[in-house]
């Protein structure tokens, strides 16, 4: 790490060359002065070379391991398949790097515990899950509305995240069960992060359901719910086969609020809104200026490395465990069908 004019500047290396690299890191890095992409490595070197040429990345490491050995790097971004996230996060921490790893940070409670142990070491660097929606002010604004009681008590939450799979995700880890494939592993973390942020994940009864009829026995549509001791219900429909929709709807005593198309800022700088969702009232409650989730995330990562912002790791690991439990419930129910 170097300091220029009192501002920390971090050199970052990339592990992987998947399609997410461009929108999640390489394009956003143009807007974040505190982070410089300095190296890339991929198991198929030609892909790394292509990206290095397109984005003026100075170094292409000969292997993933070689990149971790580069002393000049302060941090790494991990964009490998889901089943490799925890493994390479552990290796990166052991190499003395800060880590931003694509969601999900881990697939199993065992992996989550390994990450917890590694991150608790005295000399451990920062470990952050790349769950970009967490870094936009609409969630905190919605929490403030709930906490204020201005619309009465919150009675239920309904989330839909349905993104049709292009070509059935053929050749993609999302269609391979052993690599963490399936809709819930890929998209369920968005729902759980949202629910955890606004109402928490304590004192809940869980359920999960799927036909597991996608490629390789993956869940192509998954329904999940949380029932709180308070009576609050949080439900989610997640799918790789239903028409596109990404929305959160909140049912209060006195109104219904929605956050429509909440994934839109993944694609660039777009405005967001919270609005009423009643037959005679669709007025806006709060507007948000155009933002890009990934730019916000990269800025947050720099602040976390600076030590001026919390990494939120324990929340990420808690979600991994809860998500694994919900998947186990669904698999058990399916086996008894």
Rounded percentage of the chain residues whose pLDDT exceeds 90 = 93
Is 266's pLDDT higher than 50? yes
Express each pLDDT in 186-228 by its tens digit.
999 999 999 999 999 998 999 999 999 999 999 999 999 999 9
Query: Are the C-beta atoms of residues 210 and 222 closer than 8 Å to each other?
Result: yes
Query: What distance lies between CA 191 and its chain's CA centroid?
Result: 10
Q: Is 273 a catalytic residue?
A: no
Please name the CATH architecture into which domain 2-133 falls: 3-Layer(aba) Sandwich (3.40)
Sign for the pseudo-dihedral over CA of 19, 118, 179, 128 = negative
What confidence score (pLDDT) does residue 325 get? 96
What confidence score (pLDDT) does residue 337 get? 75
Express each pLDDT in 63-80 by its tens digit.
999 999 999 999 999 999
CATH 3.40.50.970 correct for 135-297+321-335: no
- The whole-number average pLDDT for the span 288-299 is 98
Strand extents, DSSP E, 211-283: 221-228, 233-239, 245-252, 256-259, 270-276
pTM: 0.94
SS3 content of the chain, % helix, strand, coil (to 5): 40, 30, 30
Express each pLDDT in 100-139 by its tens digit.
999 999 999 999 999 999 999 988 899 999 999 999 999 9
Q: Please pick, among 11, 91, 103, 179, the residue that the annotation labels catalytic.
A: 103
Three-state DSSP at 98 gives strand
Higher-scoring residue by pLDDT: 167, 89? 89
Instruction: Kindly report which listed range (47-61, 162-176, 220-234, 276-290) carries the lowest average pLDDT score.
Output: 162-176
Question: What ranges do the domains of the chain cover?
Answer: 2-133, 135-297+321-335
Distance CA 325, CA 6 (A): 46
Helix H or strand E segment including 319: helix 313-335
| Cα-based distances in Å from 238 to 81, 259, 281 | 20, 16, 27
Distance CA 10, CA 97 (A): 11
Grade residue 7 by pLDDT with cuts at 50, 70 and 90.
Answer: low
Distance CA 47, CA 141 (A): 41
């Amino acid at each position: 790490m170097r300091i220029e004019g009192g501002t920390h500047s971090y050199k970052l290396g990339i592990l992987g060359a998947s399609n997410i690299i461009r929108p999640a890191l390489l394009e956003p890095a143009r807007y974040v002065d505190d982070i410089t992409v300095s190296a890339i490595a991929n198991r198929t070197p030609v892909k790394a070379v292509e990206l290095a040429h397109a984005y003026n990345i100075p170094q292409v490491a000969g292997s993933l391991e070689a990149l971790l050995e580069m002393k000049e790097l302060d941090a790494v971004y991990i964009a490998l398949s889901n089943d490799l996230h925890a493994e390479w996060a552990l290796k990166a921490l052991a190499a003395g790097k800060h880590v931003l790893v694509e969601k999900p940070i881990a697939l199993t409670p065992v992996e989550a515990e390994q990450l917890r142990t590694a991150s608790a070491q005295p000399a451990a660097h920062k470990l952050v899950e790349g769950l970009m929606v967490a870094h936009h002010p609409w969630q905190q604004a919605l929490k403030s509305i709930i906490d204020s009681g201005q619309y009465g008590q919150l009675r239920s939450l309904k989330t839909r995240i349905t993104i049709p799979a292009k070509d059935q995700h053929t050749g993609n880890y999302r269609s391979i069960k052993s690599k963490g494939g399936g809709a819930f592993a890929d998209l369920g973390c968005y729902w759980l992060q949202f629910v955890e942020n606004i109402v928490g994940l304590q004192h809940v009864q869980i359920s999960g359901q799927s036909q597991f009829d996608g490629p390789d026995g993956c869940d192509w549509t998954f329904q999940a719910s949380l029932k709180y001791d308070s009576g609050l219900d949080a439900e989610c429909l997640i799918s790789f086969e239903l028409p596109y929709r990404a929305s959160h709807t909140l049912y209060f005593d006195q109104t219904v609020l929605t956050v429509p198309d909440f994934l839109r800022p993944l694609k660039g700088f777009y405005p967001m809104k919270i609005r009423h969702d009643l037959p005679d009232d669709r007025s806006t409650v709060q507007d948000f200026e155009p933002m890009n989730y990934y730019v916000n995330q990269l800025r947050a990562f720099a602040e976390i490395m600076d030590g001026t912002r919390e990494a939120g790791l324990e929340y990420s690991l808690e979600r991994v465990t809860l998500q694994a439990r919900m998947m186990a419930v669904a698999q058990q129910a399916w086996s008894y069908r």
